[in-house]
Amino acid sequence: MIYKDADIYIEWEESEIPWIKIFTCTPYKEITECPKTLRAKLWKTYEIAEEMMIEYFKPDKINMASFGNYMPRVHIHVMARFENDSFFPEPMWGERQREGNVVLPDFALFEAILLEKLRRI
């Protein structure tokens, strides 16, 4: 777990790319079930994560997803995508296109910067 407060928590997804998941602590099934203040916080958290991924990892594209079919609770996937990752341009759940060769900076520093920004929300 990267971050946790009374409303949300963030986890890394094990992957060749930077990929985090933002969850609501209360297990709402749909975003529209969340109180408006929580929806606003969830979106602000997403914006901060996206901006940080762009600035730090310099991806070719950011992917955002919220399926919840296997885990029926509100969560948002935030993925930094690269033209040379194994699945690009397909989704990370799609068919592998090649053997990826993404070289990334240290995740620990990204995590520290992200935590500092999240604490200001």
CA distance 46 to 77: 9
Model pTM score: 0.94
Least confident span in 31-40, 54-63, 67-76, 80-89: 67-76
CATH number at residue 71: 3.30.428.10
Q: Pick the closest to residue 16 from 107, 89, 77, 95 (CA basis).
A: 107
Our count of domains for the chain comes to 1
28-57 pLDDT, tens digit per residue, is 999 999 999 999 999 999 999 999 999 999
Residue 65: is it exposed, middle or buried by C-beta count within 10 angstroms (0-12/13-18/19+)? middle
Provide the domain limits for residue 107: 3-118
CB atoms within 10 A of CB 81: 22
Q: What size, in residues, is the chain?
A: 121
